[in-house]
């Protein structure tokens, strides 16, 4: 009976995602996939020759967080920067086609829109090629972006900072956003990079992976005991409400002040590709908390959603129907 009650609560929360309004601020990228077959090794060097079948272009980085929130039924806007190039236009057009607002996306001359090109053969990644600009924004672009965020912050339940280290989220910008969000009582969730880690101090939710948590805490995470030590260090130094450490095939661990850590085992049946799984976790967490979920319920929903996307090849998303189906199968 208790299992049935938990299932109904989780299903209700997923349906309530439609009432949530989320702003994602971060590094916008394109994930380009080249799909093909390998039948021989090159005579020029000991590398496979890939015969291309097709190419696909998907939302990456902060744009993938937005896409996850959108497919889960939430209302979402994206704030960031693209280059004055074909890929930047592709992102803008793609977001508009799926119904995501793009008035918070600014085009900067001389900037390269970040693209990660992955060559996939026989369901495996052969190589990844990156093109990007990681310089800080021009002062005029930064001012436009700040003006947009400060003007619209009150319109959203939560802000997600999606930091891929591509130059958008500087320490100054992060601190300014968190300070403003505290004044407006807006929840801030962060998918962090180690470089800026302690600039996120005072955010509501921070979601590092095990490697990032270990590097930031100075604790080598090798087992459950060291994971708990690292979590305790980071909670104290970050002063956040929730620290969620993603642990790959081992699931996730949730830390809150004055509470025992919550260990959430993975529900993935098979892991084909972890690309974008962190985007799914933070996107689902933002929706669940905005819908009124407890920390445990939000973590469980994020875990279910991540378990779905790692079973897909390439940058993937999860929709409401898939998430509800997994909830029913697990209860």
Phi then psi dihedrals of residue 46, to 5 deg: -75, 65
| DSSP H or E segment with residue 243 | strand 242-246
Look at residue 104 and give its three-state secondary structure.
strand
Report the phi/psi class of residue 125: left, alpha or beta, with left for phi > 0 and alpha for psi in -120 to 50: beta
Place of tokens 């496979």: 48
Please tell me the number of Cα atoms within 13 Å of 39 on its side-chain side: 4
Q: How far is CA 213 from the centre of its chain?
A: 16
CA distance 33 to 120: 7
The tokens of 115 are what?
């693209």
Question: Alpha-carbon distance 227 to 214, whole Å?
Answer: 8
Other residues' Cβ atoms within 10 Å of the Cβ of residue 175: 15
Task: Report whether 272 contacts 310 (CB < 8 A).
Answer: yes
**Distance from C-alpha of 129 to C-alpha of 125, rounded to nearest angstrom:** 11
Integer Cα distance of 181 and 206 in angstroms = 15
Q: Cα separation of 65 and 54, whole Å?
A: 25
Helix (H, G, I), strand (E, B) or coil at 317: coil
Q: Work out whether the CA dihedral 265, 267, 269, 270 comes out positive or negative.
A: negative
DSSP conformation class of 313: S
Element (H, E) at 22: strand 21-26
191 is catalytic: no
- Please pick, among 157, 191, 273, 279, the residue that the annotation labels catalytic: 279
331/327 Cα distance (integer angstroms): 6
Question: Which residue numbers are catalytic?
Answer: 279
């Amino acid at each position: 009976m208790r299992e049935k009650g938990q299932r109904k609560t989780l299903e209700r929360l997923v349906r309530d995602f439609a009432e949530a309004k989320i702003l994602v601020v971060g590094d916008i990228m394109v994930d380009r996939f080249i799909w093909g077959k390998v039948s021989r090794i090159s005579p020029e060097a000991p590398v496979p020759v890939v015969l291309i079948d097709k190419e696909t272009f998907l939302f990456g980085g902060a744009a993938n967080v937005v896409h996850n929130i959108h497919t889960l039924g939430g209302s979402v806007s994206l704030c960031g920067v693209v280059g004055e190039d074909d890929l930047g236009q592709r992102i803008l057009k793609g977001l508009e086609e799926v119904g995501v607002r793009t008035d918070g996306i600014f085009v900067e001359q001389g900037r390269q829109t970040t693209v990660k090109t992955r060559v996939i053969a026989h369901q495996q990644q052969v190589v990844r090629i990156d093109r990007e600009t990681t310089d800080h924004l021009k002062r005029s672009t930064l001012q436009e972006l700040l003006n947009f965020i400060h003007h619209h912050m009150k319109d959203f339940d939560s802000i997600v900072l999606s930091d891929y280290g591509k130059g958008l989220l500087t320490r100054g910008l992060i601190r300014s956003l968190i300070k403003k969000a505290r004044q407006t009582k807006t929840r801030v969730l962060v998918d962090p990079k180690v470089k800026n880690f302690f600039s996120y101090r005072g955010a509501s939710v921070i979601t590092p992976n095990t490697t990032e948590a270990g590097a930031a805490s100075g604790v080598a995470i090798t087992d459950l005991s060291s994971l708990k030590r690292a979590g305790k260090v980071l909670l104290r130094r970050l002063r956040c409400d929730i620290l969620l450490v993603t642990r790959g095939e081992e699931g996730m661990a949730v830390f809150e002040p004055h509470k025992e850590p919550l260990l959430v085992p993975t529900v993935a049946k098979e892991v084909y590709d972890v690309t974008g799984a962190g985007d799914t976790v933070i996107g689902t967490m933002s929706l669940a908390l905005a819908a009124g979920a407890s920390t445990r319920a939000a973590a469980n929903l994020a875990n279910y959603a991540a378990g779905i996307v790692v079973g897909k090849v390439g940058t993937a998303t999860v929709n409401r129907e898939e998430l509800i189906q997994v909830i029913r199968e697990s209860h």
